[in-house]
């Protein structure tokens, strides 16, 4: 059996050495271009050569103006009629001129497709009508006067109306889940009482240390020193529990505002110290015996923000994407207001980020 033999050159491929040539007639690729046919003696003087750029020609099409009509000869006499008079005009010429005028009248004005798909409309000169701009929320119209608002008359939201919600932009972060701890029935009240007692104990120790460090405490009467031993008062107490380690182990955060207990009647005291408010932040978790293990104690006042900033709990979040929660606080110190993130370990809160004191 004889095998099939491959063709040396594919069918339809020109094997000539010359450059490629576009042609309408494949058989005329090797023919020279047609030259103008010479005029014979019998042809009229005004006749032109046949058009060589017809449909079968390989030459590109050419645009040419139509032959202009010859000028009429001069009047030979008073009774001579011009060659272009209405009497000699052909009826076909009048019909052709009338059809051209009708075609021009029927041509619609181009609107550049403006009537479809909301496309822009192109015009020459001044527009006949003013196009109104669409009302876009948040943007003003072109040429409209800006209305200035008086910020002093704008109502300012109170601190209780403002709620801060953290957000982390990470396209490939871990799965979103809540770190809020789910309490058993009756368990939250017991833990709240433990945290409140711990906060009062820590505030009492703080007040005693401040009274001891105050040089003016040596000159006050003995009855005044006993007022620091009284149990302080906590206000605006808030406790939140988080399962930061995803181990069903609650990490509790208590924030409150504390102040001294009012002194007994007749006891000399300072009005400034009696009206002083203290910021209290306690972070702790219960151990296997049910006792609280302190992770962080932050107590300060407006005169000691350089030593201990005031912390305001925002929420728990996964700041580094390890499926463990961290605590986000807003801190206020003598340098201003910033943000701080703490990671809860077994012994203390480890600072991860501090916008006021970057390391």
Q: Sign of torsion, CA 242 301 194 233?
A: negative
Rounded Cα gap, residues 243 and 172, in angstroms = 23
Question: Hunting for tokens 């020279």 — which residue is that?
Answer: 32
pLDDT tens, position by position, 150-179: 555 556 556 566 777 777 666 666 677 889
Mean pLDDT, 10 residues at a time, the chain of 359 residues: 62 64 62 50 47 56 68 54 50 58 57 59 70 59 58 57 71 76 92 95 90 63 51 92 93 94 69 80 94 94 91 91 91 92 94 87
pLDDT at 109: 55
Q: Which helix (H) or strand (E) holds 333?
A: strand 326-333
Question: Is residue 217 classed as helix, strand or coil in its secondary structure?
Answer: helix
pLDDT for 227: 44
309 vs 312: CA distance, rounded Å? 10
Q: What is the pLDDT of residue 43?
A: 45
- Residue 276's pLDDT is 87
The burial class, CB within 10 Å (0-12 / 13-18 / 19+), for 119 is exposed
pLDDT of residue 37: 46
Rounded Cα distance between 134 and 46, Å, is 66
pTM of this prediction exceeds 0.85: no
How far is the C-alpha of 61 from the C-alpha of 24, rounded, in Å? 12
pLDDT of residue 45: 47
């Amino acid at each position: 059996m004889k095998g099939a033999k491959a063709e040396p050159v594919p069918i339809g491929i020109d094997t000539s050495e010359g450059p490629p040539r576009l042609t309408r007639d494949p058989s005329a690729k090797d023919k020279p271009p047609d030259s103008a046919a010479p005029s014979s003696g019998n042809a009229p003087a005004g006749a032109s050569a046949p058009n060589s750029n017809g449909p079968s020609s390989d030459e590109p099409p050419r645009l040419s103006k139509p032959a202009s009509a010859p000028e009429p000869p001069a009047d030979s006499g008073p009774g001579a009629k011009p060659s272009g008079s209405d009497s000699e005009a052909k009826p076909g010429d009048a019909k052709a001129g009338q059809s051209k005028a009708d075609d021009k009248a029927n041509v619609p004005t181009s609107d550049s497709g403006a009537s479809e798909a909301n496309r822009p409309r192109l015009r020459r000169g001044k527009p006949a009508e003013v196009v109104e701009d669409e009302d876009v929320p948040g943007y003003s119209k072109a040429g409209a006067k800006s209305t200035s608002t008086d910020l002093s008359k704008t109502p300012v939201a109170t601190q209780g109306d403002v709620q801060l919600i953290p957000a982390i932009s990470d396209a490939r972060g871990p799965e979103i889940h809540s770190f809020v701890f789910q309490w058993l029935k009756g368990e939250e009240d017991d833990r709240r009482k433990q945290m409140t007692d711990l906060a009062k104990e820590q505030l009492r120790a703080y007040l005693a240390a401040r009274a001891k460090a105050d040089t003016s405490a040596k000159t006050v009467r003995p009855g005044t020193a006993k007022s620091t031993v009284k149990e302080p008062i906590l206000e605006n107490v808030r406790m939140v529990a988080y399962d930061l380690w995803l181990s069903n182990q609650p990490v509790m955060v208590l924030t409150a505002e504390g102040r001294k207990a009012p002194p007994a009647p007749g006891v000399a005291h300072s009005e400034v110290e009696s009206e002083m408010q203290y910021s209290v932040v306690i972070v702790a978790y219960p151990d296997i015996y049910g006792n609280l293990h302190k992770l962080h104690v932050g107590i300060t006042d407006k005169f000691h923000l350089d030593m201990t900033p005031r912390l305001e709990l925002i929420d728990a979040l996964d700041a580094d994407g390890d499926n463990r929660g961290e605590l986000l606080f807003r801190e206020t110190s003598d340098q201003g207001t910033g943000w701080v993130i703490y990671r809860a370990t077994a012994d203390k809160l480890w600072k991860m980020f501090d916008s006021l004191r970057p390391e």
